[in-house]
Structure 1
Amino acid sequence: MIQGIFETHINVSDYKKSAEFYEQLLHIIPLHHDPFRKSKFYWVGKPGESMLGIRENYPSSLIQRQHFAFRIALEDMPQARSYLEGLGIATTNFFGESAEQLSVFPFMPAVSIYFQDPDGHSVELLAMLEDQPRADLEIMSWEEWETLHGRSKTQH
């Protein structure tokens, strides 16, 4: 039975530049470098559980924007924005607006923050919330979600 997504590979225009970008993210562990194929592979989080591969101009030089999300712990979400911005990486919410108000996807429910890699791939940091899913609700800010559940309006 399927238990989750094990690996994601993306086509990049310059694998060395992309490697520098991904290697500065926390818990991205270099696994294998193949200079002949201009590719690098990484464990994401715990080795053996999830892998990211980057490969230059494969199968062509056409770079099509991709999207993927890294799962993080909920308690790490408030610091994620400042960490990324400290690296010079611009962040947004789901709507492409300032990441000062992070978005919650009630149907899951999960909170997330978005950023782009050097090729414009959409990368997301996502944390699951312990609340019950609410498919009847639209995407909202984390502050609105917390208020809905009777929790403090702590700035997220």
Structure 2
Amino acid sequence: MIKGLYEAHLPVSDLSNSIDFYKKLGLEVAYQNENLAFLWIEKGNSWLGLWETDKVKTPYHPSLRHIAFKVDLEDIKQAKEWLKQRGIMVRTSFGFPPEKQPLVLPNNPQAHSAIYFDDPDGNSVELITPLRLNFEEDFEMMTLEEWFIKKK
């Protein structure tokens, strides 16, 4: 029945500014009106709704103002430079400063590599890729570089 996630939504304070930000990430405007825009994440498969509203002042919590975009492993390795070229700064997450990202999340039995940054309204944006699925192995959160050293 369910094939994937089609849409997610975020509150924004300035729709035009937010559209520009997400276009820098490679998203394409699919629909726009005065207070709402849908941007294709993957055309025909998923999109992001941006709603201009005063609700953007709702305090951040990952369950309310967070989105994660799936990327390939090779892309996550280059993500910091790719974001820097677009004027987007990586932020400290889980105690890992930007220079220590991408990091590896130990969500046993899964492991994912991720990098975090904020949109213009402080919504949390994540680039994430699976490293392994359904494999039990306890480990502490670490950098992606440490993950590859450990796996050798």
Instruction: Establish whether TM, by shorter chain, passes 0.5.
Output: yes
Listed as ranges, the gaps of 5+ residues in structure 1 are 151-156
SS at match of 2:88: coil
Q: Is the 8 A contact 2:91 2:118 kept in 1?
A: no
- Answer 1 or 2: which has greater helix percent: 2
- The amino acid that maps onto 1:62 is K
Identity of matched residues, %: 37
Q: Is the 8 A contact 1:30 1:43 kept in 2?
A: yes
Q: Is the 8 A contact 1:93 1:113 kept in 2?
A: no
For residues 93 and 109 of structure 1, do their structure 2 counterparts lie closer, same or farther at Cα, with a shift above 3 Å needed?
farther
- State the number of aligned residues: 143
Report the Cα offset of residue 7 of structure 1.
0.6
Report the Cα offset of residue 132 of structure 1.
5.5
Distance in 1 between residues matched to 2:92 and 2:129, nearest whole Å: 13
For residues 121 and 9 of structure 1, do their structure 2 counterparts lie closer, same or farther at Cα, with a shift above 3 Å needed?
same
Question: Following superposition of structure 1 onto structure 2, how do residues 2-151 of structure 1 map, counting pairs within 5 Å?
Answer: 2-26=2-26, 28-35=27-34, 38-45=35-42, 47-57=43-53, 61-63=54-56, 64=58, 65=60, 66-92=65-91, 94-95=93-94, 97-101=96-100, 102-107=102-107, 108-130=110-132, 133-134=135-136, 136-150=138-152
Moved over 3 A (4+): 130-135
Distance in 2 between residues matched to 1:19 and 1:125, nearest whole Å: 18
SS at match of 1:100: helix
For residues 103 and 133 of structure 1, do their structure 2 counterparts lie closer, same or farther at Cα, with a shift above 3 Å needed?
farther
SS at match of 1:91: coil
Report the Cα offset of residue 95 of structure 1.
2.1
Cα RMSD over matched residues?
1.8
Q: Is the 8 A contact 2:72 2:129 kept in 1?
A: yes
- Answer 1 or 2: which has greater strand percent: 2
SS at match of 1:106: strand
Report the Cα offset of residue 29 of structure 1.
1.6
Distance in 2 between residues matched to 1:144 and 1:79, nearest whole Å: 16
Distance in 1 between residues matched to 2:72 and 2:93, nearest whole Å: 18
- The amino acid that maps onto 2:55 is L
